[in-house]
Structure 1
């Protein structure tokens, strides 16, 4: 069975490099578009909340260096062409033409901006998104953070879906939840959703090869979160949870 020609669209952090390297270790990736992001400045808040913000991102950096940086040494099937994109570049004039020149069988998205309808129409049913969350519960941004914040660890998972004009509202090709262990913290749980998402994407690619992929309509729309919703106060809530007595109780409830 012939592997699909792939174009990837993702970000420029270690988790994104892990995604690229893992897919290209098994399938020929022809081109990769790397979208840079403009993160909002830290809003005015309490010192405790600001400290929690820095606490979270420092811990994320340490986790990703440990878990995702080794992917840089993985051999690849292909030597894809890399091209940078400015923030919002997926909707800018010229991006569609670049995609069409790459002539992919499938376009795979992970943690990037919204795709406009002209691109969706040009590749009907062939643009897939790796969503680190369960779209029927959490849609939009940071959907592997909010279940922790909300103490809904059973909603930590990943979904592979076909892109449509909505935000994470497309037909679902694969979904699953992560395995929770007593030694987990917020970063390991978030990391597990990324690893699971890549595994699910690989499963979907095999189904495409065999002509056996099936999609179903989401049963519920899920709650929509935007990037602006993720602020220091939310980080503080998670820090207090992880460092407090409730955390081990919560893990124990969801283990196995």
Structure 2
């Protein structure tokens, strides 16, 4: 029997790809998708600041590569995701919580939405899944697949599938993946390739949810990193691109197996 789901996501192109892909899955029935607006996006935050030239250039490049990856699919496929576009944060309102409860989904699926709070969490215990674009518990917070490029730690780029809880990227981990990285890649090529792969794996996790058992959780590292939007500065852009220019990707590929073994992730055999 198909899983009946409600999707909570954003309204940028990558989010549209995500919801439309799930909507076309033969194993899923998307009852409704709530698409939050861009009012508090990183583009909006940076756009309101002065001295933002490098960050704007970086974000404009991200938008272009996102179009390269996802625009054709989004513009030419049928939309079975039943989207409704709402204001950022509205997903926690009483009206929306009651609407989701009345739909009575098997699972609530989150990607790129606001932090989910009570009473929605209380209404769907252990039934709200989330994907964090980053590898918890090593990197948490905002932009967690950007900061490994700043810190020259590409082994910490990835995606974490977890149960949603009251913390920020702290839920019980179901599965994790690392991206395919190729010599010559840009930050945005790696990021969007990961989103494409993440979406496919997420669909498998939802379809196979009834077979999921608890996984051994990683230990909290002593040097856990937590980032906020305010940390995204012009200086961070300079460092990330200097690292790329100085051969960071090729250096990582030469020691990838060793680095990944030293920093293990949760790999669920059901979804390898």
Where on the TM-score scale, by shorter chain, does this alignment land: which range?
A: 0.7 to 0.9
User: How much does 1:7 deviate?
Assistant: 0.7
Find the aligned partners of 1:155 and 1:126 in 2 and give their Cα distance.
Answer: 27
Partner of 1:71: 73
Partner of 1:126: 127
Structure 1 residues 163-174: aligned runs within 5 Å:
163-174=164-175
Structure 1 residues 48-63: aligned runs within 5 Å:
50-63=52-65
Residue 250 of structure 1 aligns to a residue whose secondary structure is helix
User: How much does 1:58 deviate?
Assistant: 1.6
Find the aligned partners of 2:228 and 2:91 in 1 and give their Cα distance.
Answer: 18
Contact 2:3–2:207, Cα closer than 8 Å, also in 1: no
User: How much does 1:107 deviate?
Assistant: 0.7
TM-score by length of 1: 0.88
Q: Which runs of 4+ in 1 moved over 4 A?
A: none
Residue 201 of structure 2 aligns to a residue whose secondary structure is helix
With over 3 angstroms needed to count, the CA separation of the structure-2 counterparts of 1:177 and 1:254, relative to structure 1, is farther
Contact 1:131–1:197, Cα closer than 8 Å, also in 2: no
The match for 1:231 among 217, 230, 233 is: 233
Partner of 1:157: 158
Would you say 1:44 and 2:50 are equivalent positions? Answer: yes
Structure 1 residues 103-118: aligned runs within 5 Å:
103-118=104-119
Structure 2 gap segments, 5+ residues each:
258-272
Find the aligned partners of 1:250 and 1:239 in 2 and give their Cα distance.
Answer: 15
Contact 1:154–1:254, Cα closer than 8 Å, also in 2: no
User: How much does 1:255 deviate?
Assistant: 5.8
CA RMSD of aligned residues (A): 2.0
Find the aligned partners of 1:125 and 1:54 in 2 and give their Cα distance.
Answer: 39
Find the aligned partners of 1:193 and 1:132 in 2 and give their Cα distance.
Answer: 9
Residue 94 of structure 1 aligns to a residue whose secondary structure is helix
Please identify, of 120-129 and 88-97, the stretch whose mean Cα deviation from structure 2 is larger. 88-97
With over 3 angstroms needed to count, the CA separation of the structure-2 counterparts of 1:254 and 1:183, relative to structure 1, is farther
With over 3 angstroms needed to count, the CA separation of the structure-2 counterparts of 1:239 and 1:159, relative to structure 1, is same
Structure 1 residues 1-256: aligned runs within 5 Å:
2-26=1-25, 27-37=28-38, 38=40, 39-40=44-45, 41-45=47-51, 50-72=52-74, 73-75=76-78, 79-208=80-209, 211-216=210-215, 217-220=217-220, 222-242=224-244, 244-253=245-254
Contact 2:111–2:132, Cα closer than 8 Å, also in 1: yes
Find the aligned partners of 1:229 and 1:158 in 2 and give their Cα distance.
Answer: 21
User: How much does 1:109 deviate?
Assistant: 0.6
User: How much does 1:153 deviate?
Assistant: 0.7
Contact 2:161–2:202, Cα closer than 8 Å, also in 1: yes
User: How much does 1:248 deviate?
Assistant: 4.9
With over 3 angstroms needed to count, the CA separation of the structure-2 counterparts of 1:157 and 1:254, relative to structure 1, is farther
With over 3 angstroms needed to count, the CA separation of the structure-2 counterparts of 1:81 and 1:22, relative to structure 1, is closer
With over 3 angstroms needed to count, the CA separation of the structure-2 counterparts of 1:3 and 1:254, relative to structure 1, is farther
Q: C-alpha offsets along residues 155-211 of structure 1, whole Å, 9 cap, x if unaligned?
A: 111111000111111111111111221121111111122123212212212322xx2
